[in-house]
Amino acid sequence: MAKEKHVSETPATQFLKKHKVGFTEHPYEYVDHGGATEAARQLGLDLHQVAKTLIMDDEQARPLIVVMHGDREVSTKNLARQTGAKKIAPCTPETAQKHSGYLVGGTSPFATRKRMPVWVEEALLNYPIIYINGGRRGYLIGVAPSALLDLLDAKPVQAGLMK
């Protein structure tokens, strides 16, 4: 008899298991356009500790990943200045999905289809655990933010603006 796949297995969780990185699983009821705010509300988490994963691109259409506090917006101007780009803007949902391999609303920075540079809001690194998308809509994982640095070579930035 075939072994059943774990219900929450995604490319992101497979990647973390392969690299022996521990994580906790936090499924919730996905709500269109609810984002990190809705996930934090349903799971009873501090929104500042819930990270959103955004796919953006620079002026040459080179994609990049930004991991940001759930209660902040990205200052694309600050991000561009800190990354050496002339301009950075969010990708369309279709382009983001093509680069990441994940549906928008379920984007994880781990195990993306295309390898992209990762930038993480520096203050997220101060938490022992952050809650980040596990690669499926309605599914967060709790993971040490050091996994972003160690596995994805993420670079810290200060690009967050209050909502």
The pTM of this model reads 0.91
Q: What is the pLDDT of residue 2?
A: 40
Least Cα distance to 39 among 124, 140, 109 occurs for 140
Q: Which amino acid is at 77?
A: K
Beta strands per DSSP E along the chain: 24-27, 51-58, 63-69, 72-74, 88-90, 118-121, 130-136, 139-143, 155-157, 160-162
Q: What is the pLDDT of residue 8?
A: 65
Q: What is the pLDDT of residue 4?
A: 38
> What is the helix (H) or strand (E) element at residue 152, kind and residue range?
helix 146-152
Residues of the chain with pLDDT under 50: 1-6
Q: What is the pLDDT of residue 160?
A: 73
Q: What does DSSP say about strands 118-121 and 63-69: parallel, antiparallel, or unpaired?
A: parallel
Q: What is the pLDDT of residue 150?
A: 96
Q: What is the pLDDT of residue 6?
A: 45
Q: What are phi and psi of 7, to 5 degrees?
A: -60, -30
Q: Which amino acid is at 4?
A: E
> Domains, the chain, ranges and CATH?
22-162 (3.90.960.10)
